[in-house]
Chain A
Amino acid sequence: MILWVAFAIAAAAVIAAVARPMLATRVSSVDPQQADLAIYRDQLAEIDADLDRGLINPLEAESARVELARRLLKTTDASRQTGKASENDQDAATPSGPITPTQIAYATAAVIPLLTLAIYLNVGSPNLPGMPLSARMQTDPGKASVEQLIAKVEAQLRETPQDGRGWDAIAPVYLRIRRFKDAANAFSQAIRLEGETPKRLRGFAEATVMANNGIVAEPAKKAYARILSLQPGDSESRFWLALADEQEGKITAAGAAYRSLLAQAPDDAPWKRIVESRLKAMEGDSGDASNKVSQPQTEKQLSQPKLPGPTQQDIAAAQKLSKADQKAFINSMVDRLAGKLKDDPQDFEGWLRLVRAYTVLGRKEDASKALATARKNVDNDTTKQARLDALANELGLGT
């Protein structure tokens, strides 16, 4: 309501200001000729002043006056020529033409507010209150959204970056909403300020692995090693370290680690199946170079959401199936990819994935065929050729 009153006042002020001269009964106007004469008179006075100050000498002053006189004459000449017209103009100063200024004033008073309002109602948002950030931060925590709460904590942490408990509180939240880099940073701040605990180290390591697309890199490895020194025998840490070994190509070490994990595993351990499948894949064709680099499929696909691959539902479904069914399921997925590539042979990343998938499944002939087709499709692109060569070397497919 106040807003509309303010609008009305603003519009009224404008109308009053512009309408006033139009409603006036008498307007003092400056005749153009008179204005010119006034200026020349001022200039003449200025010449005298300059002469007084000694800026110009009498001779110069004289020639300047002559110059002015010449201009003055020209003006009066011109006015005499247009004299007739200007006399008419004088008469016209009283109301003239079909529309009087008074009528224009009334029209203005109507058009200005209506036009403004018409435009404003189209583009404005009169019902939307202002929402300064500080006011939004003070809303009831019970009603606030997660996003709002995070923003609040973040703002606080910017003020007090040494508040370890703040970092401790926000770190798992980051992890849950998949802001892995922020999570890793928050965990490491909490560790720095509040000390190492297995829980914080685990969070940090997990966040780092997820941020690195499933690769267990050096910082994560160190963190898991620390957990093991604090909680000897922690099976989760051992699994990730084994996976790190596998990713680095230390097959024997990885195999031994998996096996000892399995030996000590309780029957209901949820990760048991994963370890078994890793081990199986490694043993299935041990000595084959292709195993060196293969990552656990689920891990890899989970962490690379950008590539068009199996959806999360696919993976969840795959995990529920029996082993034979799993294999069939994976095969069907790979065939789906192959079908897609037939339609769109320019999808280079797709070809790379297909070749890799065939190799992992042990379908070496198909892999070689896919590789050859991929080569044909990229014949001119040297960087892509080089990537294919690298892949072939890596998987031991020859050329």
Chain B
Amino acid sequence: MITEFGHFALILAVVVALFQTVVPLWGALTNEPRLMATAKPAAIFQLVLLVVAFLALTHAYVVSDFSVKNVASNSHSTKPLIYKISGVWGNHEGSMLLWVLILATFGAAVAVFGRNLPESLRANVLSVQASIALAFGIFILATSNPFTRLAAPPMDGRGLNPILQDPALAFHPPFLYAGYVGFSIAFSFAVAALIDGRTDAAWARWVRPWTLAAWMFLTLGIAMGSWWAYYELGWGGWWFWDPVENASFMPWLAGTALLHSALVMEKRETLKVWTILLAILTFSLSLMGTFLVRSGVLTSVHAFAVDPERGVAILMIMVLFVGGALTLFAARAGELRQGGLFSPISREGALVFNNVILTTATATVLVGTLYPLLLEGLTGAKISVGPPFFNMTFIPLMIPLLIAMPFGPFLAWKRGDVAAVAQRLLAAALIGLLAMVATMALSERGPWLAPVMMAIGVYVMVGAVQELAFRAKVGKADREEVMRRLWNLPRSVYGTALAHFGIGMMVIGIVGTSAYQTERVLVMKPGDTTQIAGYSLTFKGVAPNRGPNYREQIGTIAVERNGHPLTTLQPSKRIYDSPPQPTSEAGIHASWRGDLYTVLGDAQKEDGGFAFRLYFNPLVRFIWLGALVMFIGGGISLSDRRLRVGAPRKSRGKGPSPAMAPAE
């Protein structure tokens, strides 16, 4: 009964989406406020109904109601509760339901928080948003209904893929979707502006915070996925340039560009047309990611929906929205007013530079991801575009971007002075060089580029701190004044500094672990001792254990450093009951220096030894800590609700001092 009510609620939500697509838009076109006003209750009720549907499905999972086909195919009565819940979105049908639920959440948020939006803009935005929900709602009901019932239910379900039974992965999809789908708001605003043929002041103010929220979630979602791959797949790697990873990385790159161009637009009301195009492209990449992952075009852990029919349906949705939006753009973009002017050397100029590089990088990843697919489709030849391609194209693009990054926040709006900024960043560059020398001294091997990248990472981090120090007049004012200034700095300044600092941390982590990883593969018998990266590891033995829904062999390794016992690691191999599939759980000792990463292999027949793979991944923690810092930076910036105006500095001669901070 609860399940059936959830099913009804889902259908009702789709019908409401149909209403919300048609009526408010009609109202906006005929300028009828009473029709436009329906958008708000419709958006709120659409969300309420989808929440009901989602809770009903979750209920079916929790009580193991195997008369629901989706539950029978993807759950198992012995699973721990958290994986019964995460199993709801651990499959195609349930994850599509989560997709539209998040879509509706963003729509309802616009309806509720968008009080000061002009009537017609709000109606148009919510109409476009609802049309996306409608398309995916029809898709769900027609091809992937999670509420399909079985009259003769089996006694137990088929279980969730064991490698998906993991805490990081339980929350990876919701964050990732919040990111993907969050960009739909920017998309809806862009299309609404095109429908209206004009952009209001409110329009400029709204796009950035929504983009920022989506970007935050996507950052964390991608980082969680990468962290999961790192400790669960047992290869000691954290990023594989796998097409599915790229599918989430491309919207992130485009979204980062959008975030920066939206910044220009909010403060200076310029770059509007470009921002609209980026908004359309970013969400298109999100849709493409969904298509690539869901269509079975790519096979991977994510391809639990290998079904050509669904692939075609998503492709059609994608063509409809991307094609429609771009056509509208071509027709209407010319009518949009352009904003203020700026010189190439200015904050705007720096942000445009950022945009150019980020969009080029997006295109690079796009080519690397799609080219093999196209080639296979056209000629049948299977080629693999692996890390070498991305290393050769992506890294050279990132170097100038990273070098330019600390310059941006220092430059004034409208026209800046690059020489003065360079002078200020000299200290950061010097500390970076110092880091390079230290890296070269500490490492006896590794590619020549690694110390250089290390220097860049440190320079980016120091540059971010320096910007705060500069604004607080550290060294120029007395201590009290500095503290007062630091306290009064707008939160968005802290947000920028943190996000840029996080990027620097990430660069250091990536370089450290990619260039200086140590790896050993060996067979150890109980009692054997081996050395890696200054640690001494003694293999104590292997013992069987029984978990809630798996059996496992746990290896015990005592770790010593400099003769002192440090920790005990327990890498294990699991076999799940249903489906009977093996997984390996790495034993990891994490420290700031790096991670000691141990994987238990197979037992050797002859001598009772076990195969082991041991890794030392220097500085690898910094990758995810960097992402977390970026997420926090985004949150702080988002909490800054001021209405901002980017003021150009008066021409230089008139200013009281060349070190004057640009207005925030």
- Interface segment among B15-23, B102-110, B393-401, B441-449: the answer is B15-23
Within the assembled complex, what's the spacing in Å between the Cα atoms of A13 and B41? 11
**Are B60 and A18 in contact, with the CB atoms below 8 A?**
no
> Does A2 have its Cβ within 8 Å of any Cβ on chain B?
yes
> Does B81 have its Cβ within 8 Å of any Cβ on chain A?
no
> Does A380 have its Cβ within 8 Å of any Cβ on chain B?
no
Contact residues in B for A7 (Cβ distance below 8 Å): 5, 8
Contact with B along A95-136 (1 / 0, CB 8 A): 011000100100010001001100110011110111111101
**Are B32 and A101 in contact, with the CB atoms below 8 A?**
yes
What interface size band does chain A fall in?
Answer: 35 or more
Residues in B56-106 with C-beta less than 8 Å from chain A: 60, 63-67, 77-78
**Are B34 and A131 in contact, with the CB atoms below 8 A?**
no
**Are B2 and A130 in contact, with the CB atoms below 8 A?**
yes
- Interface segment among A23-31, A189-197, A241-249, A288-296: the answer is A23-31
CB nearest neighbor in A for B34: A101
- Interface segment among A35-43, A228-236, A276-284, A382-390: the answer is A35-43
**Are A92 and B32 in contact, with the CB atoms below 8 A?**
yes
Query: Per a CB cutoff under 8 Å, which of B23, B38, B647 touches A67?
Result: B647
> Does B205 have its Cβ within 8 Å of any Cβ on chain A?
yes
**Are A132 and B65 in contact, with the CB atoms below 8 A?**
yes
**Are B7 and A123 in contact, with the CB atoms below 8 A?**
yes
Contact residues in A for B33 (Cβ distance below 8 Å): 27, 29, 93
Query: Per a CB cutoff under 8 Å, which of B23, B37, B67, B643 touches A131?
Result: B67
**Are B645 and A130 in contact, with the CB atoms below 8 A?**
no
Contact residues in B for A355 (Cβ distance below 8 Å): none
Query: Per a CB cutoff under 8 Å, which of A56, A60, A131, A148 touches B65?
Result: A131
CB nearest neighbor in B for A20: B41
**Are A89 and B647 in contact, with the CB atoms below 8 A?**
no
**Are A47 and B645 in contact, with the CB atoms below 8 A?**
yes
Contact with B along A334-360 (1 / 0, CB 8 A): 000000000000000000000000000
**Are A120 and B488 in contact, with the CB atoms below 8 A?**
no
Residues in B86-139 with C-beta less than 8 Å from chain A: 116-121
> Does A158 have its Cβ within 8 Å of any Cβ on chain B?
yes
> Does A64 have its Cβ within 8 Å of any Cβ on chain B?
yes
> Does A263 have its Cβ within 8 Å of any Cβ on chain B?
no
**Are A96 and B149 in contact, with the CB atoms below 8 A?**
no
Q: Within the complex, what minimum Cβ distance (angstroms) separates A246 from chain B?
A: 27
Contact with B along A36-66 (1 / 0, CB 8 A): 1011101100110010011111011101100
Within the assembled complex, what's the spacing in Å between the Cα atoms of A2 and B41? 26
When A and B form their complex, what is the total count of cross-chain residue pairs whose Cβ atoms lie within 8 Å?
225
Q: Within the complex, what minimum Cβ distance (angstroms) separates B56 from chain A?
A: 10
> Does A73 have its Cβ within 8 Å of any Cβ on chain B?
no
> Does A378 have its Cβ within 8 Å of any Cβ on chain B?
no
Q: Within the complex, what minimum Cβ distance (angstroms) separates A70 from chain B?
A: 7
Contact residues in A for B647 (Cβ distance below 8 Å): 56, 60-61, 63-64, 67
Within the assembled complex, what's the spacing in Å between the Cα atoms of A7 and B147? 16
Within the assembled complex, what's the spacing in Å between the Cα atoms of A353 and B52? 60
Query: Per a CB cutoff under 8 Å, which of A67, A116, A136 touches B12?
Result: A116
Contact residues in A for B49 (Cβ distance below 8 Å): 10, 14
Q: Within the complex, what minimum Cβ distance (angstroms) separates A172 from chain B?
A: 19
Q: Within the complex, what minimum Cβ distance (angstroms) separates B435 from chain A?
A: 33
Q: How many residues of B are in contact with the other chain, CB < 8 A?
A: 87
Q: Within the complex, what minimum Cβ distance (angstroms) separates B28 from chain A?
A: 11
**Are B19 and A108 in contact, with the CB atoms below 8 A?**
yes
**Are B45 and A120 in contact, with the CB atoms below 8 A?**
no
Residues in B639-664 with C-beta less than 8 Å from chain A: 642-650, 654-656, 660-664
Q: Within the complex, what minimum Cβ distance (angstroms) separates B258 from chain A?
A: 21
Within the assembled complex, what's the spacing in Å between the Cα atoms of A2 and B35? 34
Within the assembled complex, what's the spacing in Å between the Cα atoms of A158 and B78? 9
Contact residues in B for A46 (Cβ distance below 8 Å): 642-645
Q: Within the complex, what minimum Cβ distance (angstroms) separates B25 from chain A?
A: 13
Within the assembled complex, what's the spacing in Å between the Cα atoms of A161 and B15? 51
> Does A147 have its Cβ within 8 Å of any Cβ on chain B?
yes
Q: Within the complex, what minimum Cβ distance (angstroms) separates A154 from chain B?
A: 8
Within the assembled complex, what's the spacing in Å between the Cα atoms of A25 and B37? 12
Within the assembled complex, what's the spacing in Å between the Cα atoms of A148 and B505? 56
Contact residues in B for A32 (Cβ distance below 8 Å): 118-121, 200
Query: Per a CB cutoff under 8 Å, which of B60, B119, B662 touches A30?
Result: B119
**Are B664 and A3 in contact, with the CB atoms below 8 A?**
no
> Does B9 have its Cβ within 8 Å of any Cβ on chain A?
yes
**Are B201 and A18 in contact, with the CB atoms below 8 A?**
no
> Does B570 have its Cβ within 8 Å of any Cβ on chain A?
no
**Are A35 and B200 in contact, with the CB atoms below 8 A?**
yes
**Are A30 and B64 in contact, with the CB atoms below 8 A?**
no
**Are A39 and B202 in contact, with the CB atoms below 8 A?**
yes
Contact residues in A for B546 (Cβ distance below 8 Å): 161
**Are B205 and A120 in contact, with the CB atoms below 8 A?**
no
> Does B298 have its Cβ within 8 Å of any Cβ on chain A?
no
A63 in contact with B649 given A71-B269, A108-B19, A130-B1 (CB within 8 Å):
yes
CB nearest neighbor in B for A47: B645
> Does B153 have its Cβ within 8 Å of any Cβ on chain A?
yes
> Does B301 have its Cβ within 8 Å of any Cβ on chain A?
no
**Are B45 and A14 in contact, with the CB atoms below 8 A?**
yes
**Are B8 and A56 in contact, with the CB atoms below 8 A?**
no
**Are B155 and A147 in contact, with the CB atoms below 8 A?**
yes
Contact with B along A185-215 (1 / 0, CB 8 A): 0000000000000000000000000000000
> Does B3 have its Cβ within 8 Å of any Cβ on chain A?
yes
A54 in contact with B488 given A59-B656, A124-B4, A130-B65 (CB within 8 Å):
yes
Within the assembled complex, what's the spacing in Å between the Cα atoms of A53 and B14? 49
Contact residues in B for A132 (Cβ distance below 8 Å): 63-65
Contact residues in A for B649 (Cβ distance below 8 Å): 60, 63
Contact residues in A for B248 (Cβ distance below 8 Å): none
Residues in A124-176 with C-beta less than 8 Å from chain B: 124-126, 128-134, 136, 147-148, 150-151, 155, 158, 161
Contact residues in A for B340 (Cβ distance below 8 Å): 67, 70
Contact residues in B for A36 (Cβ distance below 8 Å): 118, 200-202
Within the assembled complex, what's the spacing in Å between the Cα atoms of A59 and B655? 8
> Does A78 have its Cβ within 8 Å of any Cβ on chain B?
yes
**Are A125 and B149 in contact, with the CB atoms below 8 A?**
yes
What residues make up the interface of A, taking CB atoms closer than 8 Å to B? 2-3, 6-7, 10-11, 13-14, 17-22, 24, 27, 29-32, 35-36, 38-40, 42-43, 46-47, 50, 53-57, 59-61, 63-64, 67-68, 70-71, 74-75, 78, 89, 92-93, 96-97, 101, 104, 108, 112, 115-116, 119-120, 123-126, 128-134, 136, 147-148, 150-151, 155, 158, 161
Could you list 14 further interchain pairs (A-B, Cβ under 8 angstroms) beyond the known A30-B119, A67-B647, A97-B30?
A10-B8, A17-B45, A18-B19, A18-B42, A32-B200, A35-B200, A53-B488, A54-B484, A59-B660, A63-B648, A71-B201, A116-B8, A124-B7, A130-B4
A-B contact pairs, 5 of them (CB 8 A): A22-B37, A63-B663, A112-B12, A115-B18, A130-B65
Nearest 5 interchain pairs by C-beta: A64-B647, A21-B37, A132-B63, A133-B64, A151-B155
